Chains A and B, each alone.
Chain A
């Protein structure tokens, strides 16, 4: 049985559990918490609220699971709840968050330079930390679509719908974000990894 099938089975147990019995749901939280917190952190670029957002995502999932129609896997359903919740948080926080997500921001060659020149201590960071740092330096209009596509595994259509942009714009941003990421990862990450594990 695959991990996804096991998770779906656990989800069925959580749905059919008597009221107040949270054991199966807690197992689901245990299994998914690290990924959901990482996703929330990358979408909002705010480590301090990532856990709070992730908790609210699980609470929403708990109260929403009775209405779950089973048209997708539990994992995908949870990702969708998380994406909506984090994007709403961004909008609330920035007022006009749509601007930073939807519009082409000032191109961040300065940010790229800053990342490559001033972060010498990246060499000492673990691979995961390097990835976090690269994503944190990426502008919102590239980072959010990339996270939705490659971390949350949403389809291009879902990314476009969630960000309220057209499909070709979503594809273009994801392509550019991947280019950015690979460039930075090769420049910074591989060097650090080589030094850590010669």
Chain B
């Protein structure tokens, strides 16, 4: 069965390409790297205060534990 010519895709369009500037890939790479850096920075800005606080509390708890131990020995 032959297909109506109007139903057939236009072959010229399937292969249509255009010239691209030579720096295209470099610009894509820079954008990806920039966005990666920004997202890492955002991630660290969000999580770093939590990590610091947790460490600080850990040190405090440790100091109290040491102080309690010292009192116990002196009595």
Which listed residue, B9, B17, B21, B31, touches A38 by the CB 8 Å rule? Answer: B17
Residues of chain A within 8 A (CB-CB) of B19 are 34
Which listed residue, B8, B16, B24, B32, touches A33 by the CB 8 Å rule? Answer: B24
The answer for the CA separation of A166 and B42 in the assembled complex, in Å, is 43
Residues of chain B within 8 A (CB-CB) of A55 are 24, 27-28, 31
Which residue of B is nearest A58, CB measured?
Answer: B28
Residues of chain B within 8 A (CB-CB) of A33 are 20, 24-25
Is there contact, CB below 8 Å, between B24 and A131?
Answer: no
Is there contact, CB below 8 Å, between A151 and B14?
Answer: yes
Is there contact, CB below 8 Å, between B18 and A38?
Answer: yes
Which residue of A is nearest B30, CB measured?
Answer: A55
Is residue A68 within 8 Å, beta carbon to beta carbon, of the partner chain? no
Is residue A149 within 8 Å, beta carbon to beta carbon, of the partner chain? yes
A sample of 13 more A-B contacts (CB under 8 A), given A131-B12, A181-B10, is A19-B36, A29-B24, A30-B25, A35-B16, A38-B16, A42-B16, A50-B18, A54-B20, A55-B24, A55-B31, A146-B13, A175-B6, A185-B10
Q: A26-B25, A55-B28 in contact; A63/B13 too (CB < 8 A)?
A: no
Interchain nearest-CB distance for B5 vs A (Å): 8
Residues of chain A within 8 A (CB-CB) of B27 are 55
Report A58-71 CB contacts with B as 1/0, cut-off 8 Å. Answer: 11001100000000
The answer for the CA separation of A44 and B13 in the assembled complex, in Å, is 16
Is there contact, CB below 8 Å, between A51 and B6?
Answer: no
Is there contact, CB below 8 Å, between A153 and B6?
Answer: no
Residues of chain B within 8 A (CB-CB) of A42 are 16
Which residue of B is nearest A42, CB measured?
Answer: B16
Is residue B54 within 8 Å, beta carbon to beta carbon, of the partner chain? no
Residues of chain A within 8 A (CB-CB) of B68 are none
Please give the residue numbers on chain A whose beta carbons come within 8 Å of chain B beta carbons, in ascending order.
Answer: 19-20, 22, 25-26, 29-30, 33-35, 37-38, 41-42, 50-51, 54-56, 58-59, 62-63, 127-128, 131-132, 146-147, 149-151, 153, 175, 178-179, 181-182, 185
Residues of chain A within 8 A (CB-CB) of B6 are 175, 178-179, 182
Residue in B8, B16, B36 whose Cβ sees the most chain A Cβ within 10 Å: B16
Which residue of A is nearest B27, CB measured?
Answer: A55
Is there contact, CB below 8 Å, between B25 and A29?
Answer: yes
Which residue of B is nearest A39, CB measured?
Answer: B16
Q: A51-B21, A181-B10 in contact; A29/B16 too (CB < 8 A)?
A: no
Is there contact, CB below 8 Å, between A128 and B24?
Answer: no
Q: A51-B24, A59-B35, A178-B10 in contact; A26/B16 too (CB < 8 A)?
A: no
